Amino acid sequence: MATSNRDRIGKMFELLAPALDDFIRRSVSSKIPEGASWTSLVAMKDKKKGIEGKKYEPLDPQVQLRMLTENIPHNVTPGWYPFDDAIGRVGQGYAKELREARNDWAHNKSFSDDDAYRCLDTAERLLAAIGAPAVADDVKAIRLGLRRLTADKDDRKVLKSAAVTPESAGLRPWREVLAPHDDVATGNFQAAEFAADLYKVAATHDAGKDYAEPVQFFARTYLTEGLRDLIDRAVRRLVGDPNASPVINLQTNFGGGKTHSMLALWHLASGTPLGDYPQDVQDVLSGMPFDELADGVRRVALVGNHISPAGSIKDDGTEVNTIWGELAWQLGGREAFAMVATADADRTPPGKALHDLLSAHAPAVILIDEWVAYARSLVAREDLAGGTFDDQFTFAQSLTEAVKGTPGVLLAISIPASESGDDAQPVAGNAEEVGGAHGLEALQRLQNVVRRVADQWRPASPNEAYHIVRQRLFVAPDADALASISATARGFVEMYHRHVDDFPREARGGGYEERIRQTYPIHPELFDRLYEDWSSLERFQRTRGVLRLMNTVIHALWVGEDQSPLIMPASIPMGTAAVNSELTQYLQDSWKAVIDADVDGPNAEPVKIDAGKPLFGQRSLTRRLARTVFFGAAPTIGSAHKGLETQRVFLGTATPGDVPGNFHSALAALADRATYFYSAGGRYWYDLQANISRRAKDLAERMHPEDVHAEIARRLADQAKGLSENCVGLAESV
């Protein structure tokens, strides 16, 4: 049953009561007899008024809020104000408001969304004031959940109007065939959830279950050929196969899946029984000696931006200075750290002690992420506990050699790929990831050391990327869904064959029908534009960026009850706030105004064109074409071949039931009326500069008819005068 606002308020008071009890008890304990409850003060005040025999519970919010709002300590002992320093007048105001809310709740009154939101916000503020931040966070979660639901209510009408791709006769809407996962459908997700965090999984309890739990992690992970290969190498190495790679460099681009791959290794060494994993993982592991690992594998996760170069003190009191000290402590606590304690104290990389350490704690998997971030913090510093910048590369060489010589130990290091993609050239990687000149130097030196020993590995090929996205965002299709998927793929390809001249040749080939089946419910053209064009933008993080964007798009279309057979470039509801924000974060801010004026939204020019032409409007044709052009062309602005070809515009827009012949007319209308829309040489695009035709029309519209007529008369008079003078001159010459 859906949670009501009364339920939310009730849960809030349930969370508030223990925190208030603790706060009140601490505040008054110095002046009440030992063993007595603070509620005795309330009883004493009531007794003065002749009220006796009542029972006062310390966890009753009514009694607690009376204590905070009636100055009860002062009434018992004049001049005693134990709460003033902690909450003051403002806090008392919060308590008064909550007292009224508690009375309304106790008398079964209903709460509107606005009333409930204010009440939760007030409770959160009071909890922060009394020093209960953890409970305040719990109430905040309820408040944010309510805000999300109310926002969905407000947005639902907008989202329904934004889902304009029409139905296709005979083809089921994608939403009836393949539902998104619950977190996507409900909007109960955060963008950060698509950024895997090794540190959170290994060292904290803050990671979501999709990353923290081995079985859930693999249930939402598509096993690419690269990941299958990595699993094979890891298992063979951990069981002592001398031919398996001891050191692996997970070389990827920014946002390319390196940390996700590390998490796969972390979970494989978790001791989870083979039978608990999803079937596809069991199939991969069944041919390997996985059972030999049991639960005896040591795990180390060194995440550079979470290791302080100034050192740290562990829960057991161990003082750790260096990255090699951290490695030892994670391998075996205080006892293992003792093996490198001298090297850690002296800030000198260990020699033989490192070999002894690994031998004593094999089998072990050692994961090092963000090493560049740690190393660059040591540049030009001789005073830090972590050692010097040069020490990092001495240790890197020692560690790779020690791992190579120790059976059963696997070292996986993530180092960003070179921009050229040429492993033979240890050039600097993505500047945004490595962090400036110091980071670039650290990257190059680490590449030089690691590539001598490590096998290079890349997680996913481009044609596997859509599998990763589909498995993360959608449920697995059943037999009925597979039949509908095949029918949709066939319906689209038949349309492409009927209109040979309107679509690219590749769409008419036999392989395209299979591509539609593989990428369903997302059209292949949408993936192509993302991976070929949007991925070329500096801040767009390939798989992670695609997941974030598609997550937002799919949620909007799901809530808007989109009825289209596939999710296409023309489906992207750019006029909705969430999608607009996610899309334009990779572009200049000026593009938002272009979208509002000429692409999507209630007052955009394509919407006006469709409203004035029923032939277009019944299928929102101009609006869909505008979305396709913007999505395909925006990343190409500034390139030598900007814009989207006509056939690709049609491919990203058309669904069975459309008449491609109408597309030309709609594009012509858009070119005639839009301010930022351009076309030339069979290509279409938007630009930040208004087009010449539009500027000329704007100038014309600003002129008054009288002024125009006067100017025409003046020019005609000038021409007539000139003609008359020419005639006179001609007559005189005769």
State pLDDT tens for residues 421-438: 444 444 434 444 555 666
Is 730's pLDDT higher than 60?
no
Beta strands in 452-597 (DSSP E): 455-457
pLDDT at 731: 57
Query: First vs last Cα of the chain: how many Å apart?
Result: 105
Contact 427, 420 (CB under 8 A): yes
Element (H, E) at 678: strand 677-680
Nearest Cα neighbor of 522 from 571, 481, 475 is 571
Most confident stretch, 53-67, 126-140, 466-480, 648-662: 648-662
- Burial (0-12, 13-18, 19+ Cβ within 10 Å), 333: middle
- Residue 256: per-residue pLDDT: 53
| CA 256 – CA 138 distance, rounded (Å) | 34
Return the pLDDT at 163: 66
Cα four-point dihedral sign 332, 337, 343, 346: positive
- Asked if residues 300 and 364 have their Cβ atoms less than 8 Å apart, the reply is yes
CA 623 vs CA 5, 600, 633: distances in Å: 39, 7, 15
DSSP bridge partners of 423 = none
**Cα–Cα distance, 19 to 613 (Å, whole number):** 63
Mean pLDDT of 45-67: 88
**Burial of residue 190, with CB atoms counted within 10 A of its CB: 0-12 exposed, 13-18 middle, 19 or more buried:** exposed
From the list 525, 540, 528, the residue with the least C-alpha distance to 585 is: 540
- Burial of residue 107 (CB within 10 Å: 0-12, 13-18, 19+) is exposed
Average pLDDT value for residue range 341-359: 93
How sure is the predictor about 650, in pLDDT bands with cuts at 50, 70 and 90? very high
Tokens coding 328: 């030892």
Instruction: Name which of 502, 497, 470, 498 is nearest 485 in CA terms.
Output: 470
Q: Are 258 and 456 in contact (CB under 8 A)?
A: no
Instruction: Give yes or no for a contact between 228 and 460, defined as CB atoms under 8 angstroms apart.
Output: no
C-alpha span between 734 and 726 (Å, rounded): 13
Instruction: Provide the residue type at 536 as one letter.
Output: S
Are the CB atoms for 109 and 146 separated by under 8 Å? no
Q: What local confidence, expressed as pLDDT, does residue 35 receive? A: 79
Percent with pLDDT over 90 in the chain: 44
Per the structure block, which two tokens stand in for 277? 């994993």
Interval 244-274: pLDDT, tens = 989 998 865 544 577 888 999 999 999 898 8
Tell me the mean pLDDT in the region 669-696: 86
Question: Residue 464 above 70 pLDDT?
Answer: yes
Name the residue among 532, 550, 611 with its Cα closest to residue 191. 550
Q: Which of 150 and 143 is assigned the larger pLDDT?
A: 143
Phi, psi of 408 (to 5 degrees): 85, 5
Q: Mean pLDDT throughout 649-670? A: 95
Copy the structure tokens of residue 110. Answer: 């209903």
**What is the C-alpha to C-alpha distance for residues 248 and 233, in angstroms, rounded to an integer?**
9
SS3 411: strand
CA–CA distance, 358 with 398 (Å, rounded to integer): 12
Please tell me the predicted confidence (pLDDT) of residue 426: 40
Distances (CA, A) of 330 to 65, 204, 324, 345, 391: 47, 14, 10, 17, 20
Q: Pairing state of beta strands 247-252 and 409-416?
A: parallel
Nearest Cα neighbor of 38 from 61, 60, 58 is: 58
Q: Is 60 exceeded by the pLDDT of residue 419? A: no
User: Mean pLDDT throughout 112-128?
Assistant: 92
Q: What are the tens digits of pLDDT across the range 145-155?
A: 888 777 666 55
pLDDT mean over 351-374: 91
Q: What is the three-class DSSP state of 301? A: strand
Segments in 286-435 forming alpha helices (H): 323-337, 341-346, 352-360, 371-376, 389-404, 431-434
Asked whether the whole model's pTM tops 0.75, one would answer: no
Q: Which residue reads 């009542």 in tokens?
A: 54
Single-letter residue type at 451: R
Q: What is the three-class DSSP state of 677? A: strand
What are the C-alpha distances in Å from 521 to residues 176, 527, 544, 693?
Answer: 11, 11, 19, 39
104 — pLDDT class (breaks 50, 70, 90):
very high
93 is written with which tokens? 């105001």
Of 563, 477, 552, which Cα lies nearest the Cα of 520? 477
Only one residue has tokens 């740290």, namely: 312
- CA dist 395 and 351 (Å) reads 9
pLDDT (tens digit per residue) in 505-558: 999 887 999 999 999 999 999 999 998 889 888 778 777 788 889 999 999 999
Cis peptide before 33 (omega within 30 of 0): no
Name beta bridge partners: 183: none
- Tokens encoding 422: 């040429």
Distance CA 457, CA 424 (A): 13
Of 393, 388, 327, residue with least CA distance to 360: 327
Please report the DSSP string for 617-669 in residue order.
HTTTHHHHHHHHHHHHHGGGTTSTT-SEEHHHHHHTT--BTB-HHHHHHHHHH
Mean pLDDT of the chain: 85
User: If pLDDT is split at 50, 70 and 90, which confidence band does 86 have?
Assistant: confident
As a whole-number percent, the residues of the chain with pLDDT over 70 amount to 88
- Does 28 have pLDDT greater than 80? yes
624 vs 32, more confident: 624
**Is 90 exceeded by the pLDDT of residue 706?**
no
In which residue are the tokens 């050391």 written?
A: 449
Instruction: Tell me the C-alpha to C-alpha distance, in Å, between residue 657 and each of 383, 480, 492, 498, 718.
Output: 71, 24, 10, 12, 58
DSSP states of 588-603 as a string?
Answer: -TTHHHHHHHHTSSTT
Q: Which residues of 175-185 are buried (b: 16+ CB within 10 A; e: fewer)?
A: bebbbbbebbb
